[in-house]
Amino acid sequence: MNDKVLIFDTTLRDGEQCPGASMNLRQKLEVARQLARLGVDIIEAGFPVISEGDFESVKTVATQVRGPIIAGLARCVPKDIDAAAAALKPAGKRARIHVFLGTSKIHRDFKLGKARAEIIRLAIEGVKRARKYVRDVEFSPEDASRTELDFLIEIVEAAIGAGATTINMPDTVGYATPEEHGRMFAEVIRGAKNSGDAIFSCHCHNDLGLAVANSLSAVRNGARQVEGTINGIGERAGNAALEEVIMSLHTRRDFFVPAHTNARLKEIVKTSRLVTRMCGFVVQRNKAIVGDNAFAHGAGIHQDGILKKRETYEIMDPVAIGWGTTELPLTKHSGRHALAIRLKHLGYELDKEELDAVFARFKGIGDRKKFIYDDDLATLVGDRISEVAEIWALDYLSVTSGNQTVPTATVRLKKSQRGKEPLMMQDAGTGDGPVDASFRTIERLTGKRGKLLDYQLRAVSQGKDAIGEVTVKVDFGDKVPVTAKGSSTDIIEASAHAYLNAINRTLAFATSKK
Ligand code: KIV
Ligand code: ZN
């Protein structure tokens, strides 16, 4: 058996599928490029038949990202497979079509209304159709962990016989326990006569918090591909967090030997941060590997031990996974060229227009803040590439507040109008606090009222003059709430930018539906 464990990243498909995590094409491309630098083996870039947007993002990633195999998801339905093949065409020999079909009794009886024989027939047809387009076909018996073992073996054998080169057995609803999950892999690999002709893959959801443990158990029992997402994002409780899988296999290589991955550990923290920034899902502080506290030692006894010998309380070297590698900060005196070089070093590929926009904001921030750190730069780039058509923009904001004052905001907005001079509109209003006063005034001016579901503020970098990044989740009555960000050294201004960004997003969404 080949002992390399392939890392299959589905951040852009299963990860992005979760409400509120959606990314625009530009953001997806940036994530895909970083995943390639991380050294993942396969990037699942989307589900092409689902929407024009998904089709375009799979096609763009297939065209522009070099290195990993690019996969597109499809049901065992001709139009899905044809769409996936068309979107993946630019990837040439690096294209993989991933077909899936529900196989558990509950899926067969209630979702699909089909008997076992019909399911087998559809699986064979789906795999064969995909094989007409590409040599690399993955088949997933959806809800494998709740599928009867004899039927699972039968369908796996049939799919491999039809030409599937990878068999992925998902724990779709996060129901399995590690021991059971490992046993399923061992028994299917032993039971399917042609199992040697395919690579076995696991795809675990985290409903019981067991996704990583289940994935590792699958590897111990013969899986040689692990599917998951960065930061574990995904529907419901998410998918297996790939950074945890990669670091478990690396840190405990004594236990998992000879299984190993080829991931570039140094890129882990950068990748995690980029995904956070692009999809707006903040990682909890105590999250393993990439949380802010993952390597923070509060107890004096630990600190003392670490100083004497790091390994007394640290099982991983934080620097090896990309923590603490910040370079000398830039200042307002740094030029466009210095900025471009630093951004390139950070892994961003910006065109001239994007660089100009980031440079203009860099200069603005430089007037307010002495040092501009890598995290500040990443926020400026993130803001730029997350932009939607700016229908409403903040022109002026003045706020008064205090413990004996009614919080009041005066806001002037610029409304862009096609082919005409922008319209300037000004108003003032009060609220429970300065943020509330600003949001209410913005709502009155724009005529868009929303329910604020979540508000988070974090300092992007160090120091009292750090840039504050505000993330808001607002329900404007659309199908899904909008998540948006804004940043500034002034947190009230950052809040106003975030709220306007949310309004621009909901308006852009409404226009794209027309
Ligand atoms: O969780 C799941 O079953 C999936 C399949 C489409 C692979 O995401
Ligand atoms: Zn899934």
Residue 202 and residue 215: Cα distance in Å, rounded? 6
Question: Ligand 1 centre and the CA of 417: distance in Å?
Answer: 44
Greater confidence (486 vs 185) lies with 185
Domain count along the chain: 4
Ligand in closest contact with the CA of 170: 1
CA-based end-to-end distance of the chain: 53
DSSP assignment, residue 265? G
Rounded to 5°, the CA angle 119-120-125 comes to 100
Mean residue pLDDT of the chain comes to 92
Residues 109 and 238 in one domain: yes
Residue 224 and residue 202: Cα distance in Å, rounded? 8
Interval 55-78: pLDDT, tens: 999 999 999 999 999 999 999 999
Question: Ligand 2 centre and the CA of 203: distance in Å?
Answer: 6
Q: How would residue 371 be classed by pLDDT, with cut points 50, 70 and 90?
A: confident
Which whole number is the average pLDDT over 417-429? 93
Among 385, 409, 426, the domain-final residue is 385
Residue 269 and residue 393: Cα distance in Å, rounded? 33
Question: Ligand 2 centre and the CA of 466: distance in Å?
Answer: 38
- Please report the pLDDT score of residue 296 as a whole number: 78
Question: Ligand 2 centre and the CA of 235: distance in Å?
Answer: 8
Would 286 be classed as within a structural domain? Answer: no
Residues 375 and 235 in one domain: no
Would 29 be classed as within a structural domain? Answer: yes
DSSP assignment, residue 391? S
What is the position in ligand 1's atom list of the atom closest to the CA of 13?
8
Question: Ligand 2 centre and the CA of 33: distance in Å?
Answer: 22
Residue 79: give the domain boundaries: 6-279
Per-residue three-class SS string for 45-92? EECCCCCHHHHHHHHHHHHHCCCCEEEEEEECCHHHHHHHHHHHHHHH
User: What are phi and psi for residue 465, nearest 5 degrees?
Assistant: -95, 20
In short, whether 142's Cβ falls inside 6 Å of ligand 1 is yes
In short, whether 203's Cβ falls inside 6 Å of ligand 1 is yes
Given a contact cutoff of 8 angstroms between Cβ atoms, the answer to whether 171 and 203 are in contact is yes
In short, whether 145's Cβ falls inside 6 Å of ligand 1 is no
Alpha helix positions (H), 227-280: 242-251, 253-256, 268-279
Task: Please list, residue by residue across 215-243, b when 16 or more beta carbons sit within 10 angstroms of its beta carbon and e when fewer do.
Answer: bbbbbbbbbbbbbbbbbbbbbeebbbbbb
Among 324, 344, 360, the domain-final residue is 324
- Please report the pLDDT score of residue 170 as a whole number: 98
Residues 344 and 308 in one domain: no
- Please report the pLDDT score of residue 326 as a whole number: 56
What is the position in ligand 1's atom list of the atom closest to the CA of 239?
1
What residue owns the CA closest to ligand 1's atom 6? 100
Residue 317 and residue 302: Cα distance in Å, rounded? 15
Residues 345 and 484 in one domain: no
Residue 384 and residue 51: Cα distance in Å, rounded? 24
In short, whether 172's Cβ falls inside 6 Å of ligand 1 is yes
Would 329 be classed as within a structural domain? Answer: no
3-class DSSP assignment, residue 24? coil
Residues 162 and 306 in one domain: no
Question: Ligand 2 centre and the CA of 143: distance in Å?
Answer: 9
Which whole number is the average pLDDT over 104-117? 97
Which tokens belong to 8? 């299959």
Would 174 be classed as within a structural domain? Answer: yes
pTM: 0.86
In short, whether 140's Cβ falls inside 6 Å of ligand 1 is yes
For residue 18, give the amino acid letter: C
Residues 187 and 77 in one domain: yes
Would 330 be classed as within a structural domain? Answer: no
Which whole number is the average pLDDT over 304-309? 74
Percentage of the chain exceeding pLDDT 90: 72
CATH number, position 188:
3.20.20.70
Which whole number is the average pLDDT over 303-326? 81
In short, whether 100's Cβ falls inside 6 Å of ligand 1 is yes
In short, whether 374's Cβ falls inside 6 Å of ligand 1 is no
Given a contact cutoff of 8 angstroms between Cβ atoms, the answer to whether 228 and 239 are in contact is yes
- Please report the pLDDT score of residue 511 as a whole number: 63
3-class DSSP assignment, residue 347? coil
Ligand in closest contact with the CA of 171: 1
Interval 355-366: pLDDT, tens: 999 999 899 888
Would 505 be classed as within a structural domain? Answer: yes
Under 8 Å CB-to-CB from 433, ≥6 apart: which residues? 401, 407
Which whole number is the average pLDDT over 443-463? 90
Residues 401 and 505 in one domain: yes
What residue owns the CA closest to ligand 1's atom 1? 172
In short, whether 506's Cβ falls inside 6 Å of ligand 1 is no
Which whole number is the average pLDDT over 218-235? 97
Given a contact cutoff of 8 angstroms between Cβ atoms, the answer to whether 438 and 499 are in contact is yes
CATH number, position 492:
3.30.160.270
Residue 404 and residue 373: Cα distance in Å, rounded? 37
Would 331 be classed as within a structural domain? Answer: no
What residue owns the CA closest to ligand 1's atom 4? 172
Residues 137 and 44 in one domain: yes
Helix H or strand E segment including 484: strand 482-488
Under 8 Å CB-to-CB from 384, ≥6 apart: which residues? 350, 354, 357, 358, 361
Residues in a beta bridge with 487? 469
What residue owns the CA closest to ligand 1's atom 8? 14
Question: Ligand 1 centre and the CA of 94: distance in Å?
Answer: 21
Residues 61 and 87 in one domain: yes
What is the position in ligand 1's atom list of the atom closest to the CA of 205?
1
In short, whether 228's Cβ falls inside 6 Å of ligand 1 is no
For residue 35, give the amino acid letter: L
Residue 377 and residue 188: Cα distance in Å, rounded? 49
In short, whether 14's Cβ falls inside 6 Å of ligand 1 is yes
Residue 158 and residue 124: Cα distance in Å, rounded? 6
Q: At what angle do helices 178-191 and 211-220 cross, to 10 degrees?
A: 40
What residue owns the CA closest to ligand 1's atom 3? 172
Q: How would residue 505 be classed by pLDDT, with cut points 50, 70 and 90?
A: confident
Q: Residue 176 pLDDT more than 90?
A: yes
Which whole number is the average pLDDT over 325-330? 71
Residues 272 and 311 in one domain: no
Q: What's the gap between Cα 199 and its chain centre?
A: 25
Residues 110 and 257 in one domain: yes
Under 8 Å CB-to-CB from 319, ≥6 apart: which residues? 325
- Please report the pLDDT score of residue 203 as a whole number: 98
Question: Ligand 1 centre and the CA of 103: distance in Å?
Answer: 12
Q: How would residue 298 be classed by pLDDT, with cut points 50, 70 and 90?
A: low
Would 474 be classed as within a structural domain? Answer: yes
Percentage of the chain exceeding pLDDT 70: 96
Residues 263 and 373 in one domain: no
In short, whether 170's Cβ falls inside 6 Å of ligand 1 is yes
